[in-house]
Amino acid sequence: MWSIDIVCSDPECEWQAEVLLDELEEAELLVCECGHCAVVRAVARFDAVYLSVDGATAGARALALSAEPA
Ligand SMILES: [Zn+2]
């Protein structure tokens, strides 16, 4: 996922938002309420939560193995 910081392309407009998108291309479809296009100001990679779940599972397994008698 992507965390995208967007602002309005109209300098007179104060609109800004942070959105989460699956595809970076979706940012091009965003339009401000005033009718101007949104401009991407910053893009950050937003790693899905399941990656940390995988890490926790691996950690739990390692813990179980080390707890077993040799
Ligand atoms: Zn605007």
Q: In angstroms, rounded to a whole number, what is the distance separating the alpha carbons of residues 66 and 70?
A: 9
Query: Quick one: average pLDDT of 9-25?
Result: 93
Across the chain, what does the average pLDDT equal?
80
Q: Which pair of tokens denotes residue 47? A: 């790693």
Q: pLDDT-based confidence at 46, cuts 50/70/90?
A: confident
- Its pTM stands at 0.60
Q: Where are the domains of the chain?
A: 2-67
Using a CB cutoff of 5 Å, list residues around ligand 1, an ion. Answer: 8, 10, 13, 15, 32, 34, 36
CA of 68 to the centre of ligand 1 (A): 62
CA 63 / ligand 1 centre spacing (Å): 53
CA atoms within 13 A on the CB side of 12: 4
Q: Where are the beta strands (DSSP E) in 1-70?
A: 2-8, 16-21, 38-45
